[in-house]
């Protein structure tokens, strides 16, 4: 396993960007697996979740934006799976909001 702090120190954080692709655990309400280890040095996080299994509709949220001057609103996007082009189609869905916030109507 690579120690990310050593990589950042070697290259200097002014000239380095590290992008990690991670996944949530079986219980989506608990967030990323192993996230406690990551949250100490992560500046931004973007979460992508499909509406339903195999759907081309993706809900995008930005749960962590430490360096942003303002929050970015959650989005709903359509993904073309053949070329991975995302097209914005609106704001997040009610089902996604309820699932991620644990609220019920």
- Under DSSP, the state recorded for 14 is T
Does the model's pTM come out above 0.75?
no
Q: Has residue 75 got a pLDDT over 50?
A: yes
**pLDDT level of residue 104 (50, 70, 90 thresholds):** very low
Q: Are 36 and 57 in contact (CB under 8 A)?
A: no
Q: Are 44 and 67 in contact (CB under 8 A)?
A: yes
Length of the chain: 105
Domain range list for the chain: 1-42, 43-105
Q: Tell me which of 25-29, 36-40, 56-60 is least confident.
A: 36-40
Q: Say what the pLDDT of residue 76 is.
A: 93
Q: Say what the pLDDT of residue 103 is.
A: 44
In whole angstroms, give the CA distance from residue 93 to residue 89: 11
């Amino acid at each position: 396993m690579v120690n990310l702090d050593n990589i950042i120190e070697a290259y200097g954080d002014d000239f380095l960007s590290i992008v990690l692709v991670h996944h949530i655990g079986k219980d989506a309400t608990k967030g990323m697996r192993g996230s406690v280890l990551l949250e100490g040095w992560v500046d931004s996080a973007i979460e992508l979740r499909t509406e339903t299994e195999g759907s081309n509709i993706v809900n995008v949220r930005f749960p962590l934006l430490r360096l942003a001057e303002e929050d970015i609103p959650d989005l709903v996007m359509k993904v073309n799976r053949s070329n991975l082009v995302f097209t914005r189609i609106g704001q997040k869905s009610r089902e996604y909001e309820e699932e991620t916030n644990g609220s019920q109507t």
